Structures are given as structure tokens and as C-alpha cells.
């Protein structure tokens, strides 16, 4: 194992012992677990940068004293037998990661790379980890000797390459997707959290790398700064796509944050029925139940049998939170009863829903306040609450977590809870070291 900063600047010799120049950088090919080094770049005495394939490297040699600061790099051919390449613009260099910020995907945070650790994997030199702790910083400042004395006690703070997400190289091309997308496995809340610490360009880069569903969820969970970043820079088309992939109430929330003209433009570009539903939510007073209710819900017609209802559920495959309670409506869409999933499954398949539904339904009015909804839910131990308008027509459902949202400060919501994963990683590290 060798640190990139110890390798950099050392002399490169060809087979005949001619000094070609000093090592300037390394080119790597990114992979999910490791990143293989493909070329080395050296600077000759005229300060020209030349690139040669890594396959020409025979060995590194430490000088007699075993001083790590003098590692010479020896090639396996004479200089005239080595194919040299020009630098391509898109290449990813180790020097591009050094001193830059990367995402520690497992720790869900942004860290700064103090050193890059190279090691042999399947006999190929690869990036195996990055070093982010104080030890590596001390070493680079030239306090290596001091750290040598104490380093047995202090653990080297390294992040394995498989948990590292790069930010820099492709930043200039925002449409380029990340090759590997380690960050996409995180929860939207955690991605949103990371976003807070990034620059505008980096936020957009990450957003573009997520699938629409995840991007939309992240956007909802993100702080105002991040939402602002994204909404301002994305083209209408992209924002529209995002909004059509999330529940109407959340789409309405996001549209509500946009400048008026842009909101109008987006609503116009959407499908009529979608935009009509969003507009309806936007019309509600911001603190009202109507503004937070879900308008996608399952209403069972009163003439359905238990069997038919179960068939309907099979077809719709609703998400688990919508299945807790099913609401029964008459032909005018008035709310007339509620079904528990238990009642539905235990009832005779031929029996009509009206016969086993609960007729005393606890509900909330769409114009009521969030607090009313919270009080009703607390009193009756409900997770879901049906919402009706003044005529008693079922308009939506409201979920406990949406009500709760208003009662928890932003600050508390940003607290991270990442217990087990991190521990597992640290154990992995100590084994390697």
C-alpha cells in the first residue's frame, strides 16, 4: 500500500536507467469497489506532461534507507519503446480527488480527501481508499515523523473506495450521469442532507444522477436552499417530469414555492387532469387539512362485495399505508363508511361491503386546520383520516406523518440516524489495516 502524495513528484526511470521526469499524476478507471490505475503521467524537464500506460511500470523502489519519501518508479522498457499518449480532456486523475470534497456514502457526509491510498488488487494497482483524517493531513504538512510516533494509538481515518462518491470531474458536464451511483442507494432524507453541504453545481449533478422517483422524493425532503437551487436551474420539462412522479399534495407544495410565472408555466405544460388536481390543492389555505391531504386514495363503491373489493385491491396494488383503511362511498361520492382490512378479509366473500363496514366514520373537513386533524387522530388512535368537503363528498385522506411534520422543527428533522451501517464499516476498516 502506498499513499499517492508519497508517490507524486518522484523520479521515473526507464529500463536503461534514464530519468524521464517526475511523476505528476495518475489516470484511473473508476469501478464500484476499486479504481484501477491505467496510466501514469510524468512531467519531463521541460515541464511537458506525458502519459504512458501503467503496464510499462515494472516496480517502485524505495531508497536504501527505506525512506518512503524517495520512491523511484522503474519502467520495464527503454524510453523509445514506450507508447506515449496525449492527455484527453475527460480523463479522471487521482489529482482531481486529492484535496477535493467527496461524499462518504456510508457516513452520509461530505469529507475532504487528504490522501489517496493505492494498493494492489488482483495484481493491478488500484485506488482502494481515501484518507480523510488528521493523520494524513499531518503527514502532508511534513509532520510525518511525529505522526509515526503516535500513529499506533490514533486510528487512520480512511474511507474505502466503495463508499466514496466523487463530485468534481464531471461537474462541468451536467448531463453526464455518474458512472456508478453509490449515492442512489441512500434514503432521500439522507441525500437531501448531503445536498445541504454541497455547492449549487454539485447539487444539480447529483440530482441528475438520481432516477425521477428518488429525485422527486429528495426534492421534497430537501431544505429550502436546495429546492431553490434545483428548481431554478432545471428546465421546465425536467421539473414537470419530477412533479408528475410524486403525490399531488407534494407537487403542490413544491409549486407553491416557485415564483408565480414559473409555477404557471409548469402547470400549463402538465396534463390537464394533473394540473387541475394540483390547482385545487393550491387553492386551499396553506395551514388547512386540504393543503396536506393526499388526493390519491381508494374509495369503494357501496355496491361492491368483499370479493370484488379484494380483487380491486389486487389490481391496484396500493401502497401499504393506503390499505389500512378503505373508505366506502355512495354513488354521489359521499363518505358513508369505513372498512378495516381485517373486516374485509374475514367477511363472507359474497357479502356486500355495506353490511360489514363501520358506519360511524371519524373524518375531518378539508377547511379544518392541521391541528384539528392531529387532535382527532390522537383521540381516536388513527393513522389515516378521511377528508370531506362541506357536502360530505370524500376529497382525500390525510396521513399521521404529514400532520406530524408541522410539529417537528426543521432542525430536529435534520438530525441523522445512521446507526448500524457505520459500525459495520469501521470494523471492515480495522481488519484491512
Partner 1 sequence: METPRKLDWKHILFILGIIGPGIIAAIADNDAGGIATYSVAGANFGLTMLWTLIPITILLIIVQEMVARLGAVTGKGLSDLIRENFKVKTTFFIMIGLLIANLSVTVSEFAGIAAAGELFGISRLILIPATAIVIWLLILKLDYKKLEKIFLVLVLFYIAYIISGFMAKPDWGAVFKGTISPTVQFNKSFIFLLIALVGTTITPWMQFYLQSSIVEKGIRKAEYKYSKWDVIIGSSFTNIISFFIIITCAAVLFSNGIRVNDAIDAAKALEPLAGSYALYLFGGGFFIAALFGAFILPLSTSYYLCEAFGWESGVNKKFSNAKNFYIIMLLMIVISSAIILIPSINLIHLILLAQFINGIILPVLLIIILKLVNDRKLMGGYVNQGWVNIVTWTGCALVIIASISMLVVTIMGT
**Nearest CB to partner 1, comparing residues 101 and 372:** 101
In the three-class reduction of DSSP (H, G, I as helix; E, B as strand; rest coil), residue 424 is classed as helix
Phi, psi (rounded to 5 degrees) for 130: -120, 150
Q: Give the contact letters, 39-78, x = binds to partner 1 (CB under 8 A), - = no.
A: ----------------------------------------
Return contacts of 49-54, CB within 8 angstroms, 24+ apart: 49/24, 49/25, 49/87, 50/20, 50/21, 50/84, 50/85, 51/27, 51/84, 51/85, 51/86, 51/87, 52/82, 52/83, 52/84, 52/85, 53/83, 53/85, 54/26, 54/125
Specify the stretch interacting with partner 1 by CB under 8 A; choose among 22-30, 54-62, 180-188, 413-421: 413-421
Closest CB to partner 1 among residues 264, 371: 264
| Dihedral of the alpha carbons of 426, 129, 114, 180, in degrees to the nearest 10 | -110
CA 353 from centroid of its chain's CA atoms = 43
Binding residue for partner 1, selected from 175, 415, 427, 431, defined by CB under 8 A: 415
Which among 208-216, 252-260, 294-302, 338-346 is the span making contact with partner 1, rule CB under 8 A?
Answer: 252-260
Of 89-148, which residues contact partner 1 (CB under 8 A)? Answer: 99-101, 109-114, 132, 137, 140-142
Q: Say whether 273 sits in a helix, a strand or coil.
A: helix
| 411 part of the interface to partner 1, by CB under 8 A | yes
Residue 259 found at the interface with partner 1 (CB under 8 A):
yes
**Owner of C-alpha cell 378521511:** 386
Q: Which three cell numbers stand for residue 88?
A: 484527453
How many residues of this chain bind partner 1 (CB under 8 A)? 39
What is the nearest approach in angstroms of partner 1 to the Cβ of residue 302? 35
Match 377528508 to its residue by C-alpha cell. 387
Q: Of 201 and 352, which has the nearer Cβ to partner 1? A: 201
Nearest-approach distance from CB 5 to partner 1, in angstroms: 9
Neighbours of 278 (CB within 10 A): 26
Q: Does 263 bind partner 1 (CB under 8 A)?
A: yes
Q: Is 200 in the site for partner 1 (CB under 8 A)?
A: yes
Which residues of this protein are in contact with partner 1, per CB under 8 A?
A: 99-101, 109-114, 132, 137, 140-142, 196-197, 199-202, 225, 228-229, 232, 256-260, 263, 282-283, 285-286, 410-411, 414-416
Amino acid at each position: 500500500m502506498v499513499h499517492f502524495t508519497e508517490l507524486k513528484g518522484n523520479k521515473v526511470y526507464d529500463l536503461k536507467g534514464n530519468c524521464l521526469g517526475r511523476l505528476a499524476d495518475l489516470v484511473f478507471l473508476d469501478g464500484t469497489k476499486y479504481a484501477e490505475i491505467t496510466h501514469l503521467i510524468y512531467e519531463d524537464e521541460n515541464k511537458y506532461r506525458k502519459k504512458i500506460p501503467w503496464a510499462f511500470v515494472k516496480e517502485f523502489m524505495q531508497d536504501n534507507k527505506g525512506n518512503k519519501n524517495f520512491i523511484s518508479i522503474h519502467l520495464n522498457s527503454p524510453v523509445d519503446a514506450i507508447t506515449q499518449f496525449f492527455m484527453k480532456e475527460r480523463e479522471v486523475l487521482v489529482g482531481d480527488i486529492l484535496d477535493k470534497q467527496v461524499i462518504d456514502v456510508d457516513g452520509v457526509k461530505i469529507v475532504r480527501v487528504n490522501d489517496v491510498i493505492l494498493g494492489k488488487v488482483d495484481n493491478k494497482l488500484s485506488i482502494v481508499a481515501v484518507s480523510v483524517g488528521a493523520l494524513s493531513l499531518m503527514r502532508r504538512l511534513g509532520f510525518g515523523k511525529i505522526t509515526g510516533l503516535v500513529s499506533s494509538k490514533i486510528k487512520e481515518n480512511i474511507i474505502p473506495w466503495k463508499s466514496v462518491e466523487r463530485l468534481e470531474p464531471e461537474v462541468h458536464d451536467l448531463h453526464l450521469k455518474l458512472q456508478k451511483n453509490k449515492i442512489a442507494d441512500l434514503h432521500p432524507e439522507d441525500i437531501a442532507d448531503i445536498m445541504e453541504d454541497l455547492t449549487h453545481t454539485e447539487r444539480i449533478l447529483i440530482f441528475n444522477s438520481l432516477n425521477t422517483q428518488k429525485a422527486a422524493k429528495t426534492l421534497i425532503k430537501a431544505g429550502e436552499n436546495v429546492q431553490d437551487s434545483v428548481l431554478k436551474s432545471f428546465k421546465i420539462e425536467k421539473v414537470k417530469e419530477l412533479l408528475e412522479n410524486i403525490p399531488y399534495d407534494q407537487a403542490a407544495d413544491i409549486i407553491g414555492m416557485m415564483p408565480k410565472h414559473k409555477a404557471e408555466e409548469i402547470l400549463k405544460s402538465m396534463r390537464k387532469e394533473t394540473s387541475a388536481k394540483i390547482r385545487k390543492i393550491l387553492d386551499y389555505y396553506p395551514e388547512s387539512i386540504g393543503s396536506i391531504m393526499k388526493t390519491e386514495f381508494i374509495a369503494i363503491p357501496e355496491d361492491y362485495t368483499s370479493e370484488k373489493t379484494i380483487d380491486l385491491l389486487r389490481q391496484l396494488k396500493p401502497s401499504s399505508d393506503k390499505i389500512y383503511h378503505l373508505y366506502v362511498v355512495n354513488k354521489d361520492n359521499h363518505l358513508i363508511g369505513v372498512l378495516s382490512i381485517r373486516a374485509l378479509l374475514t367477511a363472507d366473500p359474497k357479502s356486500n361491503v355495506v353490511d360489514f363496514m363501520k358506519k360511524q366514520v371519524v373524518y375531518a373537513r378539508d377547511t379544518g386546520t392541521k391541528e384539528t386533524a392531529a387532535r382527532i387522530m390522537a383521540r381516536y388512535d388513527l393513522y389515516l383520516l378521511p377528508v370531506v368537503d362541506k357536502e360530505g363528498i370524500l376529497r382525500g385522506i390525510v396521513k399521521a406523518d404529514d400532520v406530524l411534520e408541522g410539529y417537528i422543527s426543521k432542525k430536529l428533522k435534520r438530525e441523522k440516524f445512521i446507526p448500524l451501517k457505520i459500525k459495520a464499516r469501521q470494523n471492515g476498516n480495522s481488519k484491512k489495516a
